[in-house]
Structure 1
Amino acid sequence: MREYSVPVLVDVPSSANLTDTVFRRAEQEPGAVVMRRKLGDDWSAVTAGEFRDQVAGVAKGLVAAGVEPGDRVALMSRTRYEWTVVDYAIWSAGAVSVPIYESSSAGQVSWIISDSGAKAVFVELDAHEATVREGASELPGLKDVWLIEGGALEELTARGAEVSDDTLADRRASRQGADLATVVYTSGTTGRPKGCRLTHDNLLFTARNVAGGPLERLFTVDGRSALLFLPLAHVFARIIEVVLVETGTLLAHTPTMKNVGPDLQGFRPTFLLGVPRVFEKVYNTAEQKAAAEGKTKIFRVAADTAVAWSRAESTGGAGLALRLRHRVFDRLVYRKLRAATGGSLWAAVSGGSALGERLGHFFRGVGIEVLEGWGLTETSAPSSVNIPGANKIGTVGKPFPGVTIGIGEDGEVLVKGRHIFDGYWNNDEATAEVIDEAGWFHTGDIGELDPDGYLSITGRKKELIVTAAGKNVAPAPLEDRIRAHPLVSQAMVVGDDRPFVAALVTLDVEALEQWKTAHGRTGADLAALSSDPEIVAEVQKAVDDANRTVSRAEQIKKFTVLDVDISEESGHLTPTLKVKRGVVMRDFAERVNSLYR
């Protein structure tokens, strides 16, 4: 078996827990600004002392409310300052946090609360409380529902006023590295989500070795700051939250994607994290804006120049002519793109699915280096990541310190390290299926390691399509290329047990608005546009582009453009924008069958 290891860089003591840094920094630097929270249109500073006091106040309230060490407390909210306060308060009380996506259905919420045995839950909005109450009759163990927007944090702080500092210190000291910190339920593209048990050591070991090693520059530069907008219920954003707190990087939150643009302008972060769809939308929006201004040709030449410059940087550096052209477009185009992100952003981390090589080169050429990483909930988020100065675009980087990655005989990516989860909650059988006797975690991803230790992910074992002719086809690379087209929202490749590979494609509703104006279709609805010859021709271009990357047997022979978009709200995407293939196949079975008639 081919494998690659990176030695541990930061050894975390077995006695350490996630709350240590919050309380230690407040003692050493009480006036240091560690976060900013948005109040109205203004960003208000939060010092280390203020954050510690708010965490301690809510934690004491939890103690007064009867929350005991090891108890599970759920948290259902959008990404906001109060999430981080509650998260650390739960840990400070010695309890275990159970995040829930704010978009979850009543059935999903009921399952997570009942399966985890949570005795209390924080909810952000009235709508979230109503979702919890809908299934409350089936949750006899649920004692409290605390509404954040209803003043729950202030009420808990008042309730815990009689709890002493010594009592809270004892609660914090009761938790060590091996103790459970959180149960994170996978977003689940198939079946019920499983709860992943992550310990204090899992998260601390990961955070300190990532921040002290491959991504150190992001968290040590002067003026470092980060804006979080991905759901904190997802382990990717959650580990970044921990990294930012551990490193003292200035942190701000944005609750919805609609706020991201204005908040980037107002907060001006140096660092960002996102999923590929976020970066695709940034690129597509810039291209659409250029088209609306009659500058499509200039933008495309500028984009090609950015990609060419980045590729040249990977192979020894750009020549004089390319450097001059790049400098010209930096003044005309790239500077405006950077300004749209606040003007200070120079790096981002992308995870969740493949970014795509062209997009990675484009952003580096523009002056914002997107560092692609890879991991799963079971690996405390990252197992590998690219680093500034050694970013091999098209890969997901090397293992971070303390991690070993191997490739099994069938191509499956295997992982070892202290970041590997403690097992599935209430499901020892499922745990035994993914962790073998040698301690390898079987990820279910298919990949390759190059001689330098860089990992490339080529697909998921369970998602491999086997055509009637016996050809194995990995759908993800094809889908990523199609989705990169400005007019495409989602793409799903099909063909299991079928004579050839085909695809379902949906259109991006926002992108269509500008297209309709430019092409005289202002009154057309999505149903009409899905069969519009010009739209179909554009999708064909995207399919042709994807087909150029694979063999003839793997190429998409037919596609259909759906007259609806698929989304998280429609039940076809997970909160991290992964396609629920089984649900799509069920709901659009007739459209799939029509491709093979």
Structure 2
Amino acid sequence: MREFTSPPLASAPPVGGLADVVFDHALDDPTRVALGRKDDAGRWRDVTRAEFRDEVLGLAKGLLAQGVRFGDRVAIMSRTRYEWTLFDFALWTVGAQVVPIYPTASAEQVFWTLYDAQVSAVLVEHEDHAMTMATVIDRLPSLSRMWQLDRDPVAEITASGTHIDDEVVHRHRRAVTPDAVATIIYTSGTTGRPKGCVISHANFMFEADTMVGRWEPVFHSKRGDEAKTLLFLPLAHVFGRMVQIAAIRGGVMLGHQPQLNAAALLPDLQAFRPTFILAVPYIFEKVFNAARRKAEKDGKTGPFDKAVECAVRYADAQEAKAFGTGPGPSASLRVQHSVFDKLVYSKVRDAMGGKVRHAMSGGSGMDRRLGLFFAGAGVTIYEGYGLTESTAAAAANPPEQTRYGTVGRAVPGTTVHIADDGEVWLYGPNVFQGYLNDPKATDATLHDGWLATGDLGALDEDGYLTITGRKKEILVTSGGKSVSPQQLEERVRDHPLVAQCIVVGNDRPYVAALVTLDSEAVEHWLTMRGKPPLKPAQLVHDPDLETEVRRAVVAANTLVSQAESIRTFRILAYQFTEEHGLLTPSLKLKRKAIEEAYAEEVEALYRG
């Protein structure tokens, strides 16, 4: 199959903008809880629709009083937190355009974003961000105002606008049209300077309403309960932004968690108890690996591995039944699964708060076996695919027929097309308006409304999409063999000790790899084997560790021909980080930067 179209559920809105729903919902059901917010003591407090509407209205008045005007661009540089959502909707209420900036962005990245977008005001989270702004502000003549979240600007801004009549705000809100610009999100970019993706109110409304309309049943832990989700994805990323908007529009109670590390995230999952979550594969890998480490520490590795195998076989049989190719789990498998549910799977679900039965995953590919395990453990993960340019998801697995290892079918109202060279093209109301100030890049990406994604993929006979790599990342060895590195890298990363893997080999005689280690997993591995703690420089020469990584490489090589296989590898002492310019904020590898930073290590792979 070369093209698949899914019929629409949501129509393009004829009038209005994203902020309207805040006021409409407050009028319809003012006492219904809209958001959860942690107080200074760390307790979760309910925020009703009426309370959120009043906060948005008050802040919108203050923003007008402080000089923000219709069409102005205002940047937000912060982690994911309640105030970001509040500012988003207040700014959209007055017709402003929001420009998100990753909280880890460098000074030069901050400068380019603010300069290219001609931002007039910026909201930062703390003093470090303010200091970053101070280093570039003299080159930004358009920037006239800055607020700092840890100094409680909400109260100050709101107080400044108390003299403004409500109707002034509503006149601004009613002037917003669906095709007006809602946000300009700068792509993190694995190469080159980031480009500003211009996304309209209509883009987000269509995307959010489609996701809610098609997937709303899986937002609940059980039929009739209150849908709740804890947002820990960065709001500077289109995925997190779409989740925020869909939750507000779809009546899903929304909480925020600014830290992705397990020490901060897991307690909030326990306290907030979401009914479903949206995450990247990395989060699910962490949950699985943590569960396995605990089993190993408790001396229960054997039973845990049997439970994993049972879950995978159980979900695989359920998948076959859903597609009419099998009878479903056998009676003996159902009994075995029931036993493991009490002993193992319930503990995995408890780690995510206890009520999660469904999740959505995007940002990068998820291993089929990992998806099957979670499904068998009682948490169905619906993997999807999209870009900033497609306002997040353009394809996702449908609830009733999930095909693990794929990113699903075109979301309702969109079309997925596979070009002659294997590139994925997308068409639909979620496709962005173009790149800000860059008509050349826009013309190279948009073709009569079709978005050329740069990703390579294939559609099966049922319209399910599998992403196989990036056009620009195809390696060509000196022998002329073309190699897509993605599947090799993902399979090496399946090993619990491996954090990252980058495959190299362009214009080289064979394919090789650089591998980094998961420090937490390695620490556990050393302890369980009675080995003393090792410094990073010692780890790379440990023969037992090298054997473990070699197993991961051998497993990856089973996916490809001998000519495409990884011939040799090198373990690195430290992980690739965003701070060192080796990862994008969405954790994608910056291949050129990594190969330049580790040029000596790459050369060593081809000596002798």
- TM-score bin (small chain): over 0.9
Q: Where in structure 2 are the equivalents of 1:309-328 lying within 5 Å?
A: 309-316=314-321, 317-328=328-339
Amino acid of the residue matched to residue 362 of structure 1? F
Q: Where in structure 2 are the equivalents of 1:224-239 lying within 5 Å?
A: 224-239=227-242
Contact 1:214 / 1:386 at 8 angstroms: preserved in 2? no
Q: Where in structure 2 are the equivalents of 1:548-563 lying within 5 Å?
A: 548-563=558-573
Q: Where in structure 2 are the equivalents of 1:110-149 lying within 5 Å?
A: 110-149=111-150
Amino acid of the residue matched to residue 232 of structure 1? L
For residue 262 of structure 1, what is the aligned residue in structure 2? 267
Offset of residue 214 of structure 1: 4.1
For residue 92 of structure 1, what is the aligned residue in structure 2? 93
Contact 2:456 / 2:467 at 8 angstroms: preserved in 1? yes
- Give the TM-score normalised by structure 1: 0.98
Q: Secondary structure at the match of 2:206?
A: helix
Whole-angstrom distance in 2 between the partners of 1:445 and 1:197: 20
Cα shift readout 1:507-531 (whole Å, capped 9, x = no counterpart) = 0011112112122333311111111
Cα shift readout 1:484-509 (whole Å, capped 9, x = no counterpart) = 11111100011111111111000001
Amino acid of the residue matched to residue 415 of structure 1? L
The answer for unaligned runs of 5 or more in structure 1 is none
Whole-angstrom distance in 1 between the partners of 2:80 and 2:312: 33
Offset of residue 279 of structure 1: 1.1
For residue 250 of structure 1, what is the aligned residue in structure 2? 253
Aligned residues: 596
Whole-angstrom distance in 2 between the partners of 1:390 and 1:246: 26
For residue 325 of structure 2, what is the aligned residue in structure 1? none
Higher mean alpha-carbon deviation, 412-421 vs 2-11, is at: 2-11
For residue 189 of structure 2, what is the aligned residue in structure 1? 188
Offset of residue 263 of structure 1: 0.5
2:538 is the counterpart of 1:528: yes
For residue 486 of structure 2, what is the aligned residue in structure 1? 476
Task: Please tell me the root mean square deviation across aligned C-alpha atoms, in Å.
Answer: 1.2
Whole-angstrom distance in 1 between the partners of 2:209 and 2:3: 23
Cα shift readout 1:195-225 (whole Å, capped 9, x = no counterpart) = 0000000000111112112455426852210
Higher mean alpha-carbon deviation, 259-268 vs 221-230, is at: 221-230
For residue 296 of structure 1, what is the aligned residue in structure 2? 301
2:421 is the counterpart of 1:371: no
For residue 158 of structure 1, what is the aligned residue in structure 2? 159
For residue 63 of structure 2, what is the aligned residue in structure 1? 62
Contact 2:408 / 2:464 at 8 angstroms: preserved in 1? yes
2:278 is the counterpart of 1:277: no
Offset of residue 290 of structure 1: 0.9
Amino acid of the residue matched to residue 438 of structure 2? N
Whole-angstrom distance in 2 between the partners of 1:350 and 1:338: 16
For residue 324 of structure 2, what is the aligned residue in structure 1? none
Amino acid of the residue matched to residue 373 of structure 2? F
For residue 101 of structure 1, what is the aligned residue in structure 2? 102
Whole-angstrom distance in 1 between the partners of 2:137 and 2:230: 35
Contact 1:527 / 1:563 at 8 angstroms: preserved in 2? yes
The answer for unaligned runs of 5 or more in structure 2 is 322-327
C-alpha spacing 1:27/1:251, structure 2 compared with 1 (3 Å): same
Whole-angstrom distance in 1 between the partners of 2:577 and 2:287: 18
Cα shift readout 1:267-300 (whole Å, capped 9, x = no counterpart) = 1101111111111111111111111111111111
Contact 1:384 / 1:397 at 8 angstroms: preserved in 2? yes
Q: Where in structure 2 are the equivalents of 1:489-528 lying within 5 Å?
A: 489-528=499-538
2:351 is the counterpart of 1:340: yes
For residue 28 of structure 1, what is the aligned residue in structure 2? 28
Percent of paired sites with the same residue: 47
Whole-angstrom distance in 1 between the partners of 2:246 and 2:386: 16
For residue 382 of structure 1, what is the aligned residue in structure 2? 393
Whole-angstrom distance in 1 between the partners of 2:151 and 2:285: 37
Whole-angstrom distance in 2 between the partners of 1:514 and 1:244: 38
Whole-angstrom distance in 2 between the partners of 1:389 and 1:493: 36
For residue 421 of structure 2, what is the aligned residue in structure 1? 410
Q: Where in structure 2 are the equivalents of 1:39-58 lying within 5 Å?
A: 39=39, 40-58=41-59
Offset of residue 440 of structure 1: 1.4
Amino acid of the residue matched to residue 569 of structure 1? E
Whole-angstrom distance in 2 between the partners of 1:107 and 1:85: 27
Amino acid of the residue matched to residue 28 of structure 1? D
- Give the TM-score normalised by structure 2: 0.96
For residue 354 of structure 1, what is the aligned residue in structure 2? 365
Amino acid of the residue matched to residue 333 of structure 1? V
